[in-house]
Amino acid sequence: MPIAAADENTEVREELLEVVRRFRDKEIIPTASHYDAQDEYPEPIVERMKELGLFGITVPTEYGGLGLDLLTYVMVVEELSYGWMSVSGFLNTHFMGCFLIKTFGTEEQKQKFLPRMATGEIRAAYSLSEPDAGSDVAAIRTRAVRDGDEYVVNGTKMWLTNGREARLVVTLVRTDPNPDTRHRGLSVLLVEKEPGPRYEGITVGPNIHKLGYRGVETVELVFDNHRVPAANLLGAEEGNGFPQMMAAVELGRINIAARAVGVARRAFEESIRYAQQRETFGRPIAQHQAIQFKLAEMGTKLHAARLVCHDAARRKNRGERCDLQAGMAKYFASEACWEICQEALRIHGGNGYANEYPIERLYRDAPLMIVGEGTNEIQKMVIGRRLLEEYAID
Ligand SMILES: Cc1cc2nc3c(=O)[nH]c(=O)nc-3n(C[C@H](O)[C@H](O)[C@H](O)COP(=O)(O)OP(=O)(O)OC[C@H]3O[C@@H](n4cnc5c(N)ncnc54)[C@H](O)[C@@H]3O)c2cc1C
């Protein structure tokens, strides 16, 4: 399942990364603390992302996107997350939605959605989780019943990133009422709505208050006899929802790894700068060996996290199976990021705990990467199973 034809289009990539870095330095870094403290949706940032074409990075050019490869995408995510992790949250669910339509959608679905998704006019949320089903995807209960040319949807979805502002919610539903069918009874519906709290049989709950990852809304969404045209069944065939959503989750895991690298790099660079400025006992703390050891561990983990992340991105881009590498990248990079943020807090002493410095925000944002797109316990299950498959002795 290649993402796009180009894998090493380095000239275009460098140009785009330069634009993204300038945008980040001028418009994201100076405002992130304000939006984070107020938990405010940063509309000017999202509008600028639309102007820069960031919502269409991996959308093929024939559908109005930039048609770039997955490695470019993860490098953009790293740069944005270096500024503020929430900004990458506006992209991720949208990016997964674009991938699903591009990969599994009918030509009619591609024509209908992708050009307006590429510009950001339509932004997508990705809805798998429910109040009683997160890790155990087959346990989802939201029902879609076919009624003529429509599906009637009832149920409650949970934890929708971008769920309020999105105009498209890529939603996993149960189309087969027999619970014994488990994964095989699931399908994906492309649910259209307007931004806001209510829309014809859809009620969006208030924003969930979170430890970090602020500014980007996370909500519950309730379907009450909401009608979806049957033409919006992804791929026009029931029963394929589980493998479709899992293919997108694989991408989501690579995206999480890239975010983790961005947050970890910021924590590391802030620390190495601070360590050379802050003096104790007559010399910069960077000259104490204990601090050098911390910086050595942080720098090494950061480097390794970036390598596993890029390796998974390259493999996925080439269309190779990469559930193992995506799981490893997500697991390793998110744990490394969390450890690096903790060490950054120690290096900053009391200042690490104050919101005048970015470390306390990084420290609050980092744990999301351990939970999102499948917890790290689930990653270890995936990795363990795949390793036993690869190294089976008979
Ligand atoms: C800020 C935020 C944004 C999110 N955005 C989205 C989104 O946009 N779309 C979406 O669909 N979801 C989203 N999620 C949901 C997220 O994907 C789930 O929270 C995650 O998959 C875990 O599911 P759960 O919360 O139901 O935990 P549970 O599945 O209840 O797990 C609870 C604990 O048990 C462990 N566990 C579960 N099963 C096993 C097992 N078999 N073996 C060992 N340990 C196990 C887990 O690792 C975890 O530690 C978001 C979550 C957060 C916090």
- Go through the domains of the chain in sequence order and give each one's CATH number: 10-122 (1.10.540.10), 125-239 (2.40.110.10), 243-390 (1.20.140.10)
Q: Is the CB of 159 under 6 A from ligand 1?
A: yes
Distance between Cα 192 and ligand 1 center (Å): 25
Phi, psi (degrees; rounded to nearest 5) at 190:
-95, 95
Q: Is 299 in the pocket of ligand 1 (CB under 6 A)?
A: no
Kindly state if the Cβ of 378 falls inside 6 Å of ligand 1: yes
Residue-level pLDDT, tens digit, the chain, 394 residues: 444 444 557 889 999 999 999 999 999 999 999 999 999 999 999 999 999 999 999 999 999 999 999 999 999 999 999 999 999 999 999 999 999 999 999 999 999 999 999 999 999 999 999 999 999 999 999 999 999 999 999 999 999 999 999 999 999 999 998 878 888 999 999 999 999 999 999 999 999 999 999 999 999 999 999 999 999 999 999 999 999 999 999 999 999 999 999 999 999 999 999 999 999 999 999 999 999 999 999 999 999 999 999 999 999 999 898 999 999 999 999 999 999 999 999 999 999 999 999 999 999 999 999 999 999 999 999 999 999 999 999 7
230 contact partners, CB below 8 Å, separation of at least 6: 146, 148, 149, 150, 151
- Closest atom of ligand 1 to 373 CA is 17
Give pLDDT, residue 7. Answer: 52
Looking at residue 90, its amino acid is F
Bridge partners of 124? Answer: 168
For 108: left if phi > 0, alpha if psi spans -120 to 50, otherwise beta; the answer is alpha
C-alpha distance from residue 76 to each of 18, 51, 145 (Å) = 10, 15, 40
Specify whether 373 is catalytic: yes
Residue carrying structure tokens 């944005």: 80
- Provide the pLDDT for residue 181: 85
Q: For residue 65, what are its two tokens?
A: 């996107």
Task: Count CA within 13 A, CB hemisphere, residue 313.
Answer: 26
Percent of the chain that is helix, strand, coil (3-state, to 5): 60, 15, 25
State whether residue 240 is helix, strand or coil. Answer: coil
Which of 192, 250, 360, 373 is catalytic? The answer is 373
How many CB atoms neighbour CB 141 within 10 A?
Answer: 14
Give residue 97 CA to ligand 1 midpoint distance, Å.
19
Which pLDDT value is given to residue 178? 85
What atom in ligand 1 is closest to the CA of residue 377? 47
* 318 CB-near residues (< 8 Å, 6+ apart): 2, 7
Biggest CA–CA distance in the chain, Å, is: 79
Cα separation values, 257 from 70, 91, 353, 368, Å: 13, 14, 25, 11
Residue 225 CB less than 6 A away from ligand 1 = no
Whether the Cβ atoms of residue 73 and residue 95 lie closer than 8 Å to each other: yes
d(CA 125, CA 210): 18
Q: Which residues contact 70 (CB under 8 A, 6 or more apart)?
A: 3, 4, 58, 251, 254, 313, 314, 316, 317
Our measurement of the distance from residue 383's CA atom to the centroid of its chain's CA atoms, rounded to an integer in Å, reads 20
59 lines ligand 1 (CB under 6 A): no
Going from the C-alpha of 234 to that of each of 47, 85, 144, 190, 191, the distances in angstroms are 28, 30, 13, 7, 10
Q: Name the packing angle between helices 376-390 and 323-347 (round to 10°).
A: 140
